[in-house]
Structure 1
């Protein structure tokens, strides 16, 4: 029987669900721990230990680490081995700064164009963020945060500005899927700032005022992150 038919037969026997490969299991475990902050930047990934935890050899673990390395989440150094990639603080700040300008412009250009449905949906997302604070999951919170921001910036009538916003979001995701795990105190403040931005839009505030509020909000998290990671001054 060909490999394809074997795969189809297994799928039929299991109701269409095929168990993930060992490499996929290792990848998912490491990926989730890295983006959740369980494995912090610089954390050394010991293949033997990971293999024992997952009850598998180092071969699928090595394959998983190669995938993570290609995604920029892991680095490999001679005589040291694999470790969680350090966050390039300058690149991260520059990208977030660019996003603050692009998103501020996008939302200010959309001022006056938001429908009741647009604002209701954005507020519903923000309320889900507020509820999630009780059992804080940095990955989930980050996904909701992006959904909130995109719900507002997608109303922008300027296609080019929207494309720039999208590019910046994707670049932020490649740099680090969540920084809220490093500055959890920013989560509550972020939800409150979202509510304030929605308030400005609902009351028909001057677009320039909305733009500045969005920019200040967008830069607050990277500023908090960079301040937290700076070594104490002697």
Structure 2
């Protein structure tokens, strides 16, 4: 379980999937296809390969000093994840991101985070809650000189503290994976709706207060779930003001 928790915290700070190899790791630490996958994910996440960018297998293979076979395997994996599209006689391209993917990921994360936070609630120590409040204090301070990417990293750190003791390691793995996917879809939701950041830190204090007071787990789960859902709602209202959710 501890490994999964560390993976979640690592994903929070880097946007990467827990346990996922980086492009810099040697072949002895990961297969060539995994190395190619990590290399491609990094470039898609950094927008070096923007939506619509054509992925030429031979070029990528040459840059990674490997055959096209592991590169093809990596691209198939990305296609299965919805990050790459493939057309016959055209080839592979970085997928065009639409709001439906972002919405689905946020809705999924709301459910997962809510459950993980509730399961962890009774295992959190006073020291854990002090740490959560300290991270939230840093979030409040960051509002004065707002940087959405810094805020997002701290926001994820806050939530990682709250559900770190979750006794279900599979649930933590799913949260980590969804965070990584979300990071590839949107660098930071708060870049679109910075006003949501102020509401978010107030809600954080409310969640910590519920946990500290020993509130029913159902109430804690609902608060954590609605907290994530509120960010999605704010984004959708900003991007699609006439749409009813």
Fold conserved between structures, TM > 0.5:
yes
Which has the larger Rg? 1
Which of 125, 129, 132 lines up with 1:122 in the alignment? Answer: 132
Is the alpha carbon distance of 1:178 and 1:89 closer, same or farther for their aligned partners in structure 2, counting shifts above 3 Å?
same
Is the alpha carbon distance of 1:111 and 1:86 closer, same or farther for their aligned partners in structure 2, counting shifts above 3 Å?
same
- What residue number does 1:97 align with? 107
Q: Structure 1 length normalisation: TM-score?
A: 0.64
**CA distance in 1: counterparts of 2:164 and 2:100, whole angstroms:** 27
Structure 1 portions without partners, runs of 5+: 1-65, 79-84
Q: How do 1:1-234 and structure 2 match up within 5 A?
A: 70-71=44-45, 73=47, 74-76=50-52, 87-230=97-240, 232=242
* Higher RCO structure, 1 or 2 (CA under 8 Å, sep 6+): 2
Runs of 4+ in 1 over 3 A off after TM superposition: 66-72
Query: What's the offset of the Cα at 1:69?
Result: 6.0
Is the alpha carbon distance of 1:180 and 1:87 closer, same or farther for their aligned partners in structure 2, counting shifts above 3 Å?
farther
**CA distance in 1: counterparts of 2:230 and 2:134, whole angstroms:** 22
Q: Structure 2 length normalisation: TM-score?
A: 0.62
Q: How many pairs were matched up?
A: 163
Is the alpha carbon distance of 1:224 and 1:231 closer, same or farther for their aligned partners in structure 2, counting shifts above 3 Å?
closer
Is the alpha carbon distance of 1:157 and 1:227 closer, same or farther for their aligned partners in structure 2, counting shifts above 3 Å?
same
Structure 2 portions without partners, runs of 5+: 1-39, 55-94
Q: Tell me if the contact between 1:72 and 1:175 (Cα under 8 Å) persists in the aligned partners.
A: no
- What residue number does 1:34 align with? none
Deviation readout 1:100-146 (Å, 9 max, x if unpaired): 11111111111211101111111100000001101101110010001
